[in-house]
Amino acid sequence: MTITDPRTGSHVIDRIVFSADEIEARIAELGREITDAVPADLDLVLIGMLKGSLPFLADLARAIPRPVRVDFMVAASYHAGTVSSGEVTLKYEPDTPLEGRFVVIVEDIIDSGTTLTRLLPMFEARKPAQLEVCALLHKRLATLDPPVKWVGFDAPSEFLVGYGLDYAEQFRNLPYIGVLRTDDG
């Protein structure tokens, strides 16, 4: 699928970084790894960070052949001018009880790591039996503590769009992940 700007008729993606087939194959592996890691007697809860994780969460949940609960969270970060203050709050917190369960936070991409660093303690406070992160992409700019257990792909430090990732709320619908064309580049 190519996306064409209806006003100019030109393609908006410069380069595909991860194809739909590569993403599908990697998610099948992640699904198996998560399935194998969850003890049989624990309930598994996947919590997707909206909006970017939407396609990843949907495909990942279907790659896990065991009972699984799905919920969401919505985070808000506060910016003073163009600089992030590093302050993150939850606008929507999952209703699903997490105590004693195997909880996996599903993220589209880890960039600075600020979002997760702020949010993980809030989830720890709900006393899950185990709390892990599964991120489709990791730019490896930050090391999280504890480290992210499951990563789909190491990402280049470029701005990526597609498969949930947006630029100004556009391009989440691309079935692949790519780099935007810049007119001056």
Contact 145, 118 (CB under 8 A): no
Does residue 43 carry a catalytic annotation?
A: no
One residue of 31, 113, 128, 152 binding ligand IMP per CB under 6 A: 113
Helices (H) and strands (E) in the chain, counts: 3, 9
- Note whether 174 binds ligand IMP by CB under 6 A: no
**3-class secondary-structure state, position 75:** strand
Beta bridge partners of 48: 72, 106
- Note whether 59 binds ligand IMP by CB under 6 A: no
From the list 7, 36, 10, 17, the residue with the least C-alpha distance to 137 is 17
One residue of 27, 104, 110, 174 binding ligand IMP per CB under 6 A: 110
Beta bridge partners of 76: 89
Nearer to ligand IMP, 114 or 130 (CB): 114
What is the contact mask toward ligand IMP in residues 65 to 104, using x (rule: CB under 6 A)?
----------------------------------------
Catalytic center residues: 111
Residues that bind ligand IMP (CB under 6 A): 52, 107-115, 159-160, 165
